[in-house]
Structure formats: structure tokens, C-alpha cells
Amino acid sequence: MSPSPGSTCRPSPKKAKRKIGFIPDRPYLYEKLTGLEFMKFTADIYGVPGDDFSGRRPPPCRRFRWRTGSDELIESYSHGMKQKLIMAAALLHEPEVLIVDEPMVGLDPLAIIMVKDLFKRLASAGVTIFMSTTP
């Protein structure tokens, strides 16, 4: 629907993107970065203010028990570890809407329980979640 003539409502793609998190089934990650570098990069993209990752883990990383201090390149991560990293990155800016494609692919049973619990808590907190899964 287009704004009515004379309306002050203007499309704002940047504002919309800051409200949306996306978790793909096959994440594209910059394999030559460490997980910490990727999280810093993501924080910069979303304009997450003043998050200094040295010495502490942002809340999304703690949820997935992901250690940001690792010097390992992303290319050395397992598929499940990459999936946890992309989930943490998608939640870093606290989106209002989360789009998720096959979130359980490659995760171990404990991680699946953790992700399901996380989605329930996010939904209870008012986050809209669109999820695509295969039965």
C-alpha cells in the first residue's frame, strides 16, 4: 500500500532492516574472519552502539555458549557452530522480527532444545518469528 498524497510517511529501508533478523539454513559467513571479527562486523552493520567485544561476550553469544575469544577462523567451524554463530549475529541488534529458515539443521540435540526455548522466550517477549521448516 502506497502512502496517501500529502502523507509524511516515507519508506525507510534502513530502519526496516534494523528491525529484522535473518537466520538462513545455509549461512554465508566470511570464512577468513574469526567469530569475534564476524560479530564485530555484524554489530557495525546494524549500528549496535559501543559494544566492545574484548573481554566479554554479547548476550546472543552467551545464549549459544559461543566463545567470542576464539582465534579460530570460521572456516574451521562445524556446520552446527556456524549455525550458532549466525543465530547470535542475527539476534545481536535485538530485532523485532526474526525470519528463520530451517534453524535446526546441523544442530545437536541439546542445541535444538536451546534454540526452541530461545524462540519461545523471544515470542513471549513480543518478537515476531517467521519460520520455515521441513516436516
Walk me through the domains of the chain, giving residue ranges and CATH numbers.
20-132 (3.40.50.300)
Per-residue pLDDT of 48-96, as tens digits, reads 776 555 444 555 565 565 555 467 899 988 888 888 888 888 988 889 9
CA-CA-CA-CA torsion sign (90, 95, 100, 106) = positive
pTM of the predicted model, to two decimals? 0.77
Closest Cα partner for 88 from 111, 58, 113?
58
Per-residue pLDDT of 5-49, as tens digits, reads 555 667 788 788 889 999 988 878 999 998 888 888 888 888 877
